[in-house]
């Protein structure tokens, strides 16, 4: 049996947990490739126009996996417990994938997390493991191994980021969902260009989550979405150690459009650039905006030299 895992959305958040879980259960898996033009085109063809570009791309990844595995892991996650709700896309994507590809006989692995009906993350993994024919004790062990792997990976990336924060270069905080900024097609060109401009991108999504959630109230006390609360809180955690902030959103993201407005109105002591990417624009316009933004920061720091 082979499990297909689309490289999109929550894969970027939970990949260590998921991959280690299947490895411990002795179940083979295949992860779809890095996002490329074909996957984007395929996702766009299947999705409705109004969907955000990241969920369109996700459908492209699901489509890529269709004939290559027995079941596809498409989680349905309703909330993060006390940390807050999640965007409706994470609640809907399971049904969206099931209905979009029903004529292609898609088989999805059932993975449902909804604390309002006592469907915890652990319960979801136990159900998944038992469906795959593994004993409860083994599933429990695999789940805890996966959680530990996830924790270790978070610790390592936090450590790495602490080193980056000490670099003697312009540092720019990137406020973006992990599945946007680490996507090869959407976010990676932005990070590459910032490196090319001799700046250090600091990733807002790499922050101590509980601390970030607690700090988020300093910007807004009423945000319902857990992932946005983490990002907003990371601004408070990192603002004194960076020179500017770039908000990167996938068009047309509802939660980000509201949250970014709040951030722009509340953060007055740092330059803020708001970038909305739609996957079609090409990089020329974005590169120009990044260059102007870095020039503004250099100017503020007295490092700007005008070249004719
Ligand atoms: S938070 Fe925004 S980008 Fe993420 S899935 Fe929801 S609408 Fe899409």
pLDDT at 131: 96
For residue 250, the SS3 value is strand
pLDDT at 105: 93
Q: Give the bridge partners for 203, in sequence order.
A: 174
Question: Could you confirm whether domain 2-149 is CATH 2.60.40?
Answer: no
Whether residue 102 has pLDDT greater than 90 = yes
The structural architecture, per CATH, of the domain 167-300 is 3-Layer(aba) Sandwich (3.40)
pTM: 0.95
Predicted confidence band of residue 157 (pLDDT cuts 50, 70, 90): very high
Whether residue 305 has pLDDT greater than 80 = no
Check for a shared fold between 2-149 and 167-300: yes
Could you tell me the residue ranges of all domains in the chain?
A: 2-149, 167-300
Ligand 1 touching residue 52 (CB < 6 A):
yes
For residue 59, the SS3 value is helix
pLDDT at 307: 60
User: Residue 137 has which token pair?
Assistant: 């004790």
- Over the chain, what is the mean pLDDT? 94
Whether residue 308 has pLDDT greater than 60 = no
Q: Please name the residue whose Cα sits nearest to atom 6 of ligand 1.
A: 87
Whether residue 145 has pLDDT greater than 90 = yes
User: Residue 179 has which token pair?
Assistant: 């599945």
**Residue 233 Cα, ligand 1 centroid: separation in angstroms?**
18
Predicted confidence band of residue 18 (pLDDT cuts 50, 70, 90): very high
DSSP 95: H
Span between the terminal Cα atoms of the chain, in Å? 63
Number of the ligand 1 atom closest to the C-alpha atom of 228: 1
Q: Is residue 200 within a helix (H) or strand (E), and if so which, with residue range?
A: strand 199-203
pLDDT at 204: 98
- Cα-Cα-Cα-Cα torsion 275, 279, 281, 283, nearest 10 degrees, comes to 70
CB of 161 closer than 8 Å to CB of 206:
yes
In this prediction, residues 170-195 reach a mean pLDDT of 97
């Amino acid at each position: 049996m082979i499990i297909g895992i689309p490289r999109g959305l929550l894969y970027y958040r939970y990949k260590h947990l998921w991959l280690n879980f299947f490895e411990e259960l002795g179940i083979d898996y295949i992860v779809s490739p890095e996002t490329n033009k074909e996957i984007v085109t395929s996702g766009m063809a299947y999705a409705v126009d109004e969907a955000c570009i990241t969920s369109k791309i996700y459908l492209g990844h699901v489509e890529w996996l269709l004939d290559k595995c027995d079941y596809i892991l498409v989680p349905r996650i309703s909330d993060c417990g006390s940390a807050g709700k999640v965007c409706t896309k994470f609640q809907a994507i399971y049904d969206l994938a099931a209905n979009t590809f029903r004529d292609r006989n898609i088989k999805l692995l059932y993975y449902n997390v909804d604390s309002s009906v006592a469907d915890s993350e652990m319960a979801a993994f136990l159900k998944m493991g038992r469906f795959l024919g593994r004993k409860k004790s083994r599933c429990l062990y695999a789940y805890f191994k996966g959680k530990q792997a996830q924790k270790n990976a978070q610790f390592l990336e936090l450590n790495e980021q602490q080193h980056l924060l000490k670099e003697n270069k312009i540092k720019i905080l990137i406020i973006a969902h992990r599945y946007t900024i680490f996507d090869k097609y959407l976010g990676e060109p932005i990070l590459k260009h910032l490196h090319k401009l001799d700046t250090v991108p600091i990733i807002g999504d790499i922050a101590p989550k509980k601390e970030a959630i607690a700090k988020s109230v300093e910007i807004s006390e009423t945000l319902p979405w857990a992932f946005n609360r983490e990002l907003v809180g990371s601004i408070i955690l990192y603002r004194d150690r960076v020179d500017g902030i770039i908000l990167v959103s996938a068009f047309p993201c509802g939660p980000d459009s509201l949250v970014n407005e709040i951030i722009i109105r509340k953060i007055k002591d740092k330059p803020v650039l708001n970038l909305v990417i739609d996957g079609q624009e090409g990089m020329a316009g974005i590169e120009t905006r990044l260059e102007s933004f870095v020039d503004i920061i250099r100017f503020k720091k007295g490092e700007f030299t005008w070249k004719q």
